[in-house]
Amino acid sequence: MDQPNTMGCVICSRQVSLRACSSCGVHLYCSPKCQKEDWKVHKILCATWESFKQPPAGRVDLRRVIVFEVSQPVVRFAWVPVRWIPGEGESYDNPDVSGVLEAREGGRLGGFALCNRNAVRNRYMKNPLMINHRDAALLDGSPTNMGVAKHLPPGKAAGGRGLVWKGPLIVLKSQSEPERILNVDLRDFRDVADWLAQWVLGLA
């Protein structure tokens, strides 16, 4: 269902002299320079790729997502079930993120932002990322997201300014017509990291 991860260097999008990361074997770089630039972000999930390449046997209903834990400094892959909801006009995949949410969220989130362009690297995403969050996370007293704060601290991205991410952050990948949920892969994580940096800059 996913696009193969062959769309060029994850940093500069160049298509020449591509070599894969020797650890995960899938992340492509055109040069050691680009690999070095990516490593601080890529290393967070690189080593766990092996155990998340395939869903647990027999589970065709699961999709790979990225979870930024709220109360622990952890970013990780996880599987969430999706259910196909057939409709007269519209049919769609309905993801159930309750299993990766902390208890205080009550099993659901209200809001999401669509990330369909990486402005840092000037590329569009064929399948947009859905950055799921609690609706009013900035205003409702939600705690600081420790996963973001530890691994993708906004202070650095925004030159010491900027907002701190509050509450849960779960990254899904979507496809329209038909509306399906796809697996998030390693490459998407670079786009999430760049999006978070942009988000901070945009609101600072």
Residue 34 vs 137, nearer CB to Zn ion: 34
Tell the smallest beta-carbon distance from residue 192 to Zn ion (Å). 16
Binding site for Zn ion (CB under 5 A): 9, 11-12, 14, 21, 23-24, 27, 30, 34, 46
Shortest Å, Cβ 170 to Zn ion = 22
Nearer to Zn ion, 20 or 85 (CB): 20
Q: In the complex, what is the shortest distance from the CB of residue 6 to Zn ion, in angstroms, rounded to a whole number?
A: 14
Residue nearer to Zn ion on the CB measure, 9 or 169: 9
CB 25 to Zn ion: min, Å: 7
C-alpha angle 84-89-93 in degrees, rounded to nearest 5: 20
Q: Which is nearer to Zn ion, 122 or 176 (by Cβ)?
A: 122
42 and 22 in contact (C-beta within 8 Å)?
no
Which residues are CB-contacts of 9 (< 8 A; sequence separation ≥ 6)? Answer: 15, 18, 28, 29, 30, 31, 34
Burial class (CB in 10 A: 0-12, 13-18, 19+), 28: buried
Computed over its alpha carbons, how large is the radius of gyration of the chain? 17
**SS3 (DSSP) at 21:** coil
Q: Which residues pair with 95 in a beta bridge?
A: 82
Q: Is 115 left (phi over 0), alpha (psi -120 to 50) or beta?
A: beta
Q: Cβ 11 to Zn ion, closest distance in Å?
A: 5
Nearer to Zn ion, 5 or 175 (CB): 5
